[in-house]
């Protein structure tokens, strides 16, 4: 086995030995023709032709005043941006042939960098497009192997690249069709939040005829999602501590459990002394919940109703307590709170309790190079290929992941307080200003959103910051030292041991939750120093195509200590 074959074997290549065997007769069938690697490379500014990419760029620097290499480094151009720049100059030269330029320069923000049509080669078989990456070392691993291979290996590479370029062009053309398809799926398979015109006003215990696929509710029919939630001890034990730690609230009361799932909250309520519990869910998991209740001999207290809370009728006019675990990523994802608020308006007695009844969405800044490497740098070299196009999805989609408390390098601030007994669904689309201050010097990679949940009554209980921290509630003021002795007033219920019941999903929590945190990754990290301020606006609203998804717009500025603007932030994220 020769050195080329050794290299292929060491790298675990999928190619067989015959594909690189110089004695393989199948190579004799190949004839130079349309797939032959072109070697002539035309200047970007004039008709001059060269034999290497290095010569092209040297000529451009010496004769046309444009240093391609320096421009790439100065503006941190990636592979695809370099392709767009080459094709822009090609098109420019085609439209005005043989015109010398006195001094061509770029700012790195030109519109053609955002125009994917410039990924399409202007010159057929433009050899420069396939050679310049060698000069700039865009794909080390691929070219280190290729440099050790024979000319025939290079031919295979060339053929593969031509196919890849054609595939990318087809992908661009198909992108619009894909979005239209996704729109069609959302319109036909996602459930509406509220009953449509002509919807039934009542649902009995028999399973209704399903006229169309109900994506959201059926996703909760699977066991794994309920297992994950039950094993989240922060979540489940907080509800247990609230319900069973306050039996005086539940003894003899009528309870409504919205989105009952496995029935765990209903069983907590029954065990705490509730007279009757109505457990509502529109997912098929409700049939398993009925079995769970029978197995625990609680079916005399718990009645199950399958259907949407917007449509059902209860055998009673009002209930004393509504319990529900409705929270989603970034608190509002999945829009289940809309259903809980509607249930409050329809069924809760005037002096009733909604539990939990106070939530708060918080925002902070984070620095986590390991996460950035995992989510972004990975795409720089995927088995020897650059996949920068995938990075756009990372910048567009809000990430759901867990940060360590050390990753947070700014103060935290509340961007939305939700006193659930007082608000309605219209308040769930919101726009809030925010201001956070850097507590460390470093790279700010993005913002992290999370929420705190409180179980409260109408009676005020005083907590200082230490007690709040023990409850899992993170301080939100800009300088904890200045307010350490201040009193925060929260109307918190206690568990059996007298400890207030509340929990956080933030990085400061003792244990991570299944909600994790929601991360908004900046396209460019911000270099911050202690006491620098990030000030801006966050807008959160339901997606127009699927209202269970969220569209989150973040606009802001990084200010230095003298309040001068250093950088601007303007990104839109989808939490789907």
Catalytic residues: 325, 334
**Using CA atoms, how far apart are residues 206 and 5, in angstroms rounded to an integer?**
67
Signed CA dihedral, 491, 492, 496, 498: sign only? negative
- Looking from the CA of 334 toward its CB, the CA atoms found within 13 Å total 18
Signed CA dihedral, 487, 488, 494, 500: sign only? negative
Judge whether 412 and 475 are in contact, CB under 8 Å: yes
- Residue 189 CB contacts under 8 Å (≥ 6 apart), including other chains: 212, 213, 215
Nearest 5°: the CA angle 178, 181, 183 is 115
Sort 329 into a burial class: Cβ within 10 Å, 0-12 / 13-18 / 19+: buried
Judge whether 257 and 323 are in contact, CB under 8 Å: yes
Structure token pair of residue 18: 């015959």
**Using CA atoms, how far apart are residues 262 and 227, in angstroms rounded to an integer?**
9
Segment (H or E) for 145: helix 140-148
**Using CA atoms, how far apart are residues 12 and 61, in angstroms rounded to an integer?**
41
Closest listed residue to residue 233, CA positions, set 506, 512, 499: 512
Segment (H or E) for 519: strand 517-528
Paired residues of 526 in beta bridges? 444
Instruction: Please report, for residues 209, 308, 333, 522, 525, the alpha-carbon distance to residue 213 in angstroms, rounded to integers and kept in the order given.
Output: 11, 15, 20, 37, 42
Sort 206 into a burial class: Cβ within 10 Å, 0-12 / 13-18 / 19+: exposed
**Using CA atoms, how far apart are residues 401 and 518, in angstroms rounded to an integer?**
7
């Amino acid at each position: 086995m020769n050195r080329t074959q050794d290299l292929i074997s060491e790298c675990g290549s999928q190619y067989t030995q015959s594909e690189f065997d110089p004695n393989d007769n199948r190579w004799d069938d190949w004839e130079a023709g349309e797939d032959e690697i072109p070697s002539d490379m035309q200047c970007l500014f004039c008709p001059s032709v060269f034999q290497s990419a290095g010569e092209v760029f040297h000529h451009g620097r010496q004769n046309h005043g444009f240093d391609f290499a320096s421009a790439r480094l100065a503006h941190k151009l990636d592979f695809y941006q370099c392709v767009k720049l080459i094709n822009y100059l090609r098109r420019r030269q085609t439209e005005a042939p043989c015109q010398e330029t006195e001094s061509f320069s770029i700012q790195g923000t030109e519109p053609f960098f955002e125009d994917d049509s410039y990924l399409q080669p202007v010159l057929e078989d433009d050899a420069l497009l396939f050679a310049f990456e060698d000069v700039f070392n865009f794909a080390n691993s691929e070219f280190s192997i290729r440099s050790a291979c024979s000319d025939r290996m290079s031919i295979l590479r060339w053929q593969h690249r031509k196919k890849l370029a054609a595939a990318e062009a087809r992908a661009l053309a198909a992108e619009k069709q894909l979005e239209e398809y996704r729109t069609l799926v959302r319109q036909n398979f996602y459930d509406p939040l509220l009953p449509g015109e002509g919807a039934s006003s009542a649902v009995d215990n028999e399973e209704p005829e399903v006229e169309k696929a109900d994506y959201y509710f059926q996703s909760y029919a699977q066991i794994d999602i309920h297992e994950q939630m039950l094993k989240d001890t922060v979540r489940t034990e907080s509800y247990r501590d609230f319900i069973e730690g306050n039996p005086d609230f539940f003894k003899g009361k009528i309870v409504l459990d919205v989105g009952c799932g496995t029935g765990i909250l209903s069983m907590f309520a029954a065990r705490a002394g509730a007279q009757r519990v109505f457990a509502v869910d529109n997912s098929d998991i409700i049939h398993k919940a009925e079995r769970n209740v029978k197995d625990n001999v609680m079916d005399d207290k718990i009645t199950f109703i399958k259907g949407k809370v917007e449509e059902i009728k209860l055998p009673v006019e009002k209930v004393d307590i509504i319990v529900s675990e409705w929270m989603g990523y970034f608190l509002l994802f999945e829009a289940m709170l809309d259903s809980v608020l509607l249930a409050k308006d329809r069924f809760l007695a005037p002096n009733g309790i909604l539990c939990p009844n106070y939530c708060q969405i918080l925002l902070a800044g984070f620095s986590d190079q390991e996460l950035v490497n995992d989510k972004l740098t990975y795409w720089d070299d995927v088995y020897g290929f650059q996949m920068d196009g995938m990075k756009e999805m990372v910048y567009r989609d809000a990430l759901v992941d867990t940060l360590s408390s050390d990753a947070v390098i700014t103060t935290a601030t509340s961007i939305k307080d939700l006193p659930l007994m007082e608000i309605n669904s219209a308040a769930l689309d919101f726009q809030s200003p925010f201001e956070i201050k850097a507590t460390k010097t470093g790279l700010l990679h993005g913002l992290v959103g999370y929420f705190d949940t409180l179980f409260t009554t109408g009676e005020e209980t005083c907590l200082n910051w230490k007690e709040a921290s023990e409850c899992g509630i993170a301080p939100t003021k800009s300088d904890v030292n200045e307010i350490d002795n201040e009193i925060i007033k929260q109307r918190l219920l206690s568990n059996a041991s007298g400890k207030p019941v509340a929990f956080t999903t933030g990085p400061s929590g003792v244990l991570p939750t299944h909600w994790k945190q929601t991360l908004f990754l900046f396209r460019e990290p911000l270099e911050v120093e202690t006491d620098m301020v990030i000030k801006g606006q966050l807008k959160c609203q339901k997606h127009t195509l699927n209202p269970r998804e969220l569209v989150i717009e973040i606009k802001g500025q990084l200010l230095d200590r003298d309040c001068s603007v250093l950088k601007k932030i303007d990104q839109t994220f989808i939490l789907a």
